A and B are shown apart, each in its own frame.
Chain A
Amino acid sequence: MARYSVFALARNALSHHQDWQRAWASPEPKAEYDVIVIGGGGHGLATAYYLAKNHGVRKVAVLEKGWLGGGNTGRNTTIIRSNYLRDPSAKIYELARGLYETLSQEFNFNIMFSPRGVLMLAQTEHEKRAYERTAHANRAQGIETEMVDPARCAEIVPILNIDGPRYPVLGGLWQARAGTARHDAVAWGYARGASEMGVDIIQNCEVTGIDRDADGVTGVRTTRGAIRTKKLCIVVAGHSGVLAEMAGFRLPVESVALQALVSEPIKPVIDCVVMANTVHGYLSQSDKGELVIGGGADGFNNYTQRGSFQHVEETVRALVETFPVISRLRMLRQWGGIVDMTGDRSPIIGPTPVPGIWINCGWGTGGFKAIPGSGWATASMLANGADPIAGPFGMERFREGRMIDESVAAAVAH
C-alpha cells in the first residue's frame, strides 16, 4: 500500500486526486480462517491488527455487517481519558491512552489525537469526594491526574459558570494528557494497518448463525456464505445479546440507546473536554467549531439508533446553567448508538461457555478511549489463551462477586 506523505499529496494533486489507492483491500471471504472477528468497530479492528502485528497471526478475517465504524465507534463523542478508579481499569485504559499518542505515526494515517485535557467537574459534595478518591487512586496507579479547585477550573475553562444556583462547581478532576481523536480515522487506521499485514476486512457481511459441534465452534454463517473457523471472537457492542443467542448463551449485558448532538459551528470557546456528570452533560469543541455534546442513556432496552427528545432537553438544560454562553446556540444534528451496559460498568473480555468462542463487549458508554488497549489485550488473549490485562474482565467475575465497579468513574449518567 502506498504511503501517505507530503510528496504523495503533491503527486496526487497533479492528477487531480483521481488516482489515490483504496486505503485497505476489499477481498472476498475465504473458506476458512485461523481467527474470525465479528464486528468492524474499533475494538474488532484493533484486535485483528494486534493479532497480526504482535503475534504473527495473519489468517484473520474481520466480518462487519455494515461499514467500518458504522456502530458506536463512528457515533461517539471521542473522549479519551484513563482516570478510572480500579487497578484493572487503570491498566487497560492507560495502555490505550498511551498507544493513542503514537498511533498516527504507526499507521502513517492521521487519527487526529488531540491531548487537549479532560476536566471532570465535581458539582456535589459527594462527587467531589469521589473524585478526590480517584485522584489518590490514580497517583498510586502512576496515572497523572490532579484535583483542582474552582478557581483553577474557571482558568482552564473560561466559559464555565462556577457558581451556578443549582450545581456550583466545587472542584474538578483534571487529566492534562487526556483528550480526543477522530473516531472514523481510528477505525480506518486499524483497518489499513491490518489489511497491510494480510488481514481480510470484509464489509457488508452479516453473521446470521454460529455453527458448533460437541467440541465447540466450527464456523459462522453469513450473508456472504459460510466460513469455517475454530476460533471466533464476538466484538459487536450493542448486538452482543443477539450474537450470544446465536451461540446459545446469555450475557450479563443489556443494550440501551445513548445519544449525542452537535451545535452550529462557532469560534473557539473551549479548548479541552468538560464533563459535568451530576447534570448528565459533557462538552467539547470540534475542529470545525461545533460544540459536541453528550448526555445520559435511556433506561430501557433499545436497538433503535435514535435517542429521545427528553434526554436532549435534559442535557441541554443542564449545560446551559454551567455554560451560560451557549444558551442561544442552535443544535444541528442529533444521533444515537446502542451501547452494551454491564452491571459494574466495566467491559467483558474473555472466554464464553462455548469452547472456541471469545467475547469482547460491555464497553457501554465509554469504550472509544479503550480501543488500542482492548485490541492489544484481546489479541494476546486469543493468541496465548490468556492475558494479564484482559484477565480480570472475564464474565465469571459476576458470579464470583469480583465486580470492577466503575459506576462513578464511567461518568455518563446511566
Chain B
Amino acid sequence: MLLLTCPHCGVSAEETEFHPGGEAHLKRFGPGASDDAFAGYMFERANPRGVHFERWRHVFGCGKWFHLARCTASLEVFGAYPADVTAPPEEILAKIRARRPGWEPAPAAKPAAKPEGDA
C-alpha cells in the first residue's frame, strides 16, 4: 500500500484515495509529425525497473492531477510535484540522486522525424 501526499491540497492518504494515470511527460507531437512520433506518444512506454515518473489523480480528495517520482522496484516514493510541468523539477531530481547515487534521467524520447509543431 503506497502512502502518498497530494501536492495540491497537502492531504496524505493511502493509495486507495488516489488513482494512477500512467507514464508522465509523454510528449504529443502535432500535425505534420511522423507516424513514428505519434505511435511513440500513443503506445510506447519506458516501463523501467527503477525510477519512474508518473501521473496520479487525487480522485477521492481534491480531484486534481499531479506527478509522482517513484521506484517501481522498491515502491519508494521520492516526491510529488505539480501536474503543469513538462519535466521533473530539479529538487525532485536531487532527491532521487540522493537516494540512487549514479542515477541520471533518461534522455527524453525523440521523435523519428522533425515535428512541425506542438499540440
A and B interact: yes
Residues of A within 8 A of B (CB): 239-242, 244-245, 250-255, 299-304, 308-310, 343, 398-399
Please name the residue on chain A nearest to B47 by beta carbon.
Answer: A241
* Contacting pair B109 A250 (CB below 8 A): yes
Q: What's the count of A-B pairs with C-beta under 8 Å?
A: 70
Give the CA-CA distance A309 to B15 in the complex, in Å. Answer: 11
Give the CA-CA distance A250 to B1 in the complex, in Å. Answer: 28
Give the CA-CA distance A399 to B34 in the complex, in Å. Answer: 11
* Contacting pair A304 B74 (CB below 8 A): yes
Residues on the A chain within 8 Å of B20, using CB: 299-300
Give the CA-CA distance A253 to B43 in the complex, in Å. Answer: 8
The yes or no answer to B12 lying at the interface (CB within 8 A) is no
Give the CA-CA distance A303 to B15 in the complex, in Å. Answer: 17
In the assembled complex, the CB of A350 is this many whole angstroms from the nearest CB of chain B, namely: 14
Partner among B39, B47, B74, B75 whose Cβ is within 8 Å of the Cβ of A254: B47
Give the CA-CA distance A299 to B56 in the complex, in Å. Answer: 11
Partner among A241, A304, A308 whose Cβ is within 8 Å of the Cβ of B48: A241
* Contacting pair A251 B47 (CB below 8 A): yes
Partner among B49, B54, B75 whose Cβ is within 8 Å of the Cβ of A241: B49
Q: List 11 A-B contacts (CB under 8 A).
A: A241-B45, A241-B47, A242-B48, A244-B47, A251-B47, A254-B47, A300-B70, A303-B73, A310-B1, A398-B39, A399-B39
Among the interface residues B40, B46, B49, which one has the most CB atoms of the partner chain A within 10 A?
A: B49
In the assembled complex, the CB of A400 is this many whole angstroms from the nearest CB of chain B, namely: 9
Which chain B residues numbered 53 to 107 have a C-beta less than 8 Å away from chain A? Answer: 54, 70, 72-75
The yes or no answer to B22 lying at the interface (CB within 8 A) is yes
Residues on the A chain within 8 Å of B54, using CB: 300-301
Q: A250-B109, A310-B15 given as contacts; is B1 within 8 A of A255 (CB)?
A: no
* Contacting pair A254 B45 (CB below 8 A): yes
* Contacting pair A399 B43 (CB below 8 A): yes
* Contacting pair A301 B75 (CB below 8 A): no
* Contacting pair A251 B1 (CB below 8 A): no
Residues on the B chain within 8 Å of A308, using CB: 1, 15
Partner among A304, A310, A399 whose Cβ is within 8 Å of the Cβ of B75: A304
* Contacting pair A398 B43 (CB below 8 A): yes
Q: B interface, by DSSP: helix, strand, loop or mixed?
A: mixed
* Contacting pair A251 B44 (CB below 8 A): yes
* Contacting pair B72 A310 (CB below 8 A): no
In the assembled complex, the CB of A324 is this many whole angstroms from the nearest CB of chain B, namely: 26
In the assembled complex, the CB of A246 is this many whole angstroms from the nearest CB of chain B, namely: 11
In the assembled complex, the CB of B15 is this many whole angstroms from the nearest CB of chain A, namely: 7
Please name the residue on chain B nearest to A240 by beta carbon.
Answer: B47
Give the CA-CA distance A303 to B109 in the complex, in Å. Answer: 22
Residues on the A chain within 8 Å of B74, using CB: 304
Residues on the B chain within 8 Å of A245, using CB: 46, 48
* Contacting pair A310 B49 (CB below 8 A): no
Please name the residue on chain B nearest to A304 by beta carbon.
Answer: B75
Residues on the A chain within 8 Å of B114, using CB: none
Q: A254-B22, A300-B54, A302-B72 given as contacts; is B35 within 8 A of A399 (CB)?
A: yes
Residues on the B chain within 8 Å of A255, using CB: 47, 49, 72
Residues on the B chain within 8 Å of A244, using CB: 47
The yes or no answer to B42 lying at the interface (CB within 8 A) is yes
* Contacting pair B47 A301 (CB below 8 A): yes
Please name the residue on chain A nearest to B43 by beta carbon.
Answer: A252
Residues on the B chain within 8 Å of A250, using CB: 40, 44-47, 109
Additional A-B contacts beyond A241-B47, A399-B43 (12; CB < 8 A): A241-B45, A252-B43, A252-B45, A254-B22, A254-B47, A299-B19, A300-B2, A301-B47, A301-B52, A304-B73, A310-B14, A399-B35
Please name the residue on chain A nearest to B106 by beta carbon.
Answer: A245
Closest 6 CB pairs of A and B: A241-B47, A250-B44, A252-B43, A300-B20, A399-B39, A299-B20
